[in-house]
Structure 1
Amino acid sequence: MAVMSPQSKIICYHEELRSALLAALKVADKKLFGSIQFRPLPEDGVLQISALNKTSTFVATVPTEMCDVVDQRDEVFECLLSEASVMAKFPIKLPPGSEGEVAKAGLIIADSWIQITDETGLGIGIRHSRVRRNSDLELPGHADRTIETAIDADEDFDAVLFPAQTALVGRVAEIMGQKHQIRLLKAPEGVLSRVLLSGATYGLTCTEGRQKDEDTDTSDDQPLSFDDSGLSVTSSKSLKIVGASPAHGVS
């Protein structure tokens, strides 16, 4: 008789989950880092969702009502962008007469799949969609460390934003729909510009290119990992932009 492997389960607020996934999909690089990373933090009551491209790092924290990680394999897990898109599009609607309630989604994590479920009203435990889980982790480093480093970095009041930075910052800010701050930071040596976009429950850092000199080719093709910020990571704290548990998102 086959033994079923343990399954972790997370219940979170649907709108916050959807926004985090949509923003992560805007940041993610389809060719270089074609996955979205999930990192449950039961001690903080949140689920971190991260994405990476060769110049940008994004992380959002989604408040949870339940964060039961029962196996070490589920402490960090990923899925392809196409699978994350299915999760982001999974519809959850409140039933009539449910004023004051908040739409909730569940994530059931197995060894080879992730299932998003309706945890609201009449659809509890019935409506669901299952996607494939990556067998291996693809995204390097820790997104929260990169964002924490950026938060602690000095500002550069003479810096400028480049069009690609402006476009990505604008798209992510619009999707997340929160009050936010935009700070131009002192960039690592050779990098033209570095910007930090931060809201109550998310952060995005984005650089623009690398300067070229006559002796060294430091082209834009050199990717930045979560931890490749050019600044030493001295903060031991994890990302604390966890916010509260708002009824209709964070303003």
Structure 2
Amino acid sequence: MVETSKIVVDAVEFQRAMAAAIAVAGKEPLDLVQFRIVADELVVSARSHTEAIAVEVSTSYLDVDYDRDGHFEITKAEARALNAMRMKKEDPDEELSLGLLVHEAYVQRTDESGLGLGLRAVKVRRNGNPYESVLGDVPHSLAAAAREPATSAQPKMDGSQWSLVGKVAKELDVRLMVWSNSEPGSDTVRTNVAGAGVAMLVLCSDLGREEDNERSSEPPESATISLNFEDVAKSDAVPKVVTAKPPKGLA
């Protein structure tokens, strides 16, 4: 077994994906950002009890122990530290890359641009057991939710959720579309949000939750409005997050 796995990604895409995931991540024990290799891409994900997001990041190099490092998680605080080393293009045509060295106990970020010497390193602690996930399989869960047929139910989000979706769109500099596949008239509405390289799922309920309950560390009173990605049926053909779109004719 290799001591560390290495993933090299587009630095600008990574920085944007991290900012969006940090915005969505919930409170303890869901105060985490997850990294998962899906179809040779790095997907950065996060979720609370009522919101979830997955963002694709282009990779240029993968040398990964998939059993141990095919997915890994860090706390939101560590994610902020990992993303604090900002990289800016001095030339529009310049390609900025960064590396992630994944150990069973830590994740180290390096600057892989230019000579690729791995300088300017930032190291953060890896969360939990390397072979387990607290958040579950977020990308596949979002892809499965988006494949369900859209219905005539209108998308529904409260003010904080609309603000969150707006913040994600701004961080990623992407246009988003929304649709629902909940049953018409349902007290709990599941709204799908998708754009180039990003998928989200938002649950909004009229079942008498207290204000801001969806962002709390405790699940809502009704289990029907709590996202649970612990058990996901996966096929060998992995759907890409960006292929999730509503049927033709829906805005």
| TM-score of the aligned structures, taking structure 1 as reference length | 0.79
Q: Provide the C-alpha distance between the structure 1 equivalents of 2:62 and 2:150, rounded to a whole number of angstroms.
A: 36
Does 2:26 correspond to 1:29? Answer: yes
Deviation at 1:111, TM superposition (A): 1.5
2:196 aligns to what? 200
Aligned amino acid, residue 46 of structure 1:
E
CA-based RMSD of the aligned residues comes to 2.9
CA deviation vs aligned residue, 1:156-176 (integer Å, no higher than 9, x gap): 434243323312211112211
Equivalent in the alignment of 2:83: 88
Equivalent residues, number: 228
- Between the aligned partners of 2:239 and 2:44, the Cα distance in structure 1 is 12
* Residue in structure 2 matching 1:146, options 118, 141, 157: 141
Structure 1 Cα separation of the partners of residues 35 and 96 of structure 2: 20
5 Å-filtered alignment, 1:229-244, equals 237-241=237-241
* Conservation of the 8 A alpha-carbon contact between 1:13 and 1:105: yes
Q: Any conservation in 2 of the 1:48–1:60 contact (CA below 8 Å)?
A: yes
Cα distance 1:237–1:162, how it changes in 2: closer, same or farther (>3 A)? farther
Change beyond 3 A, Cα 1:48–1:223: same
Aligned pair partner of 1:166 in 162, 181, 189? 162
C-alpha contact 1:37 1:139 (8 A) present in aligned 2: no
User: 1:140, 1:226 within 8 Å by CA — same for their partners in 2?
Assistant: yes
Gaps of at least 5 residues in structure 2 are 209-219, 244-251
Q: Against the structure 1 CA distance between its residues 90 and 200, is the aligned structure 2 distance closer, same or farther, given a 3 Å change threshold?
A: same
**Amino acid in the other structure paired with 2:28:** K
CA distance in 2, matches of 1:8, 1:234: 24
Return the alpha-carbon distance in structure 2 between the equivalents of residues 99 and 141 of structure 1.
38
**Gapped runs of 5+ residues in structure 1?**
213-217, 244-251
- Name the SS for the 1:121 alignment partner: coil
Q: Identity over aligned residues, as a percent?
A: 28
Instruction: Indicate which of 81, 104, 107 corresponds to 2:100.
Output: 107
- What aligned pairs does 1:36-185 form with structure 2 within 5 A after superposition? 36-41=33-38, 44-70=39-65, 72-94=67-89, 98-121=91-114, 124-136=117-129, 137-159=132-154, 160-185=156-181
TM-score by length of 2: 0.79
Mean Cα deviation higher: 62-71 or 160-169: 160-169
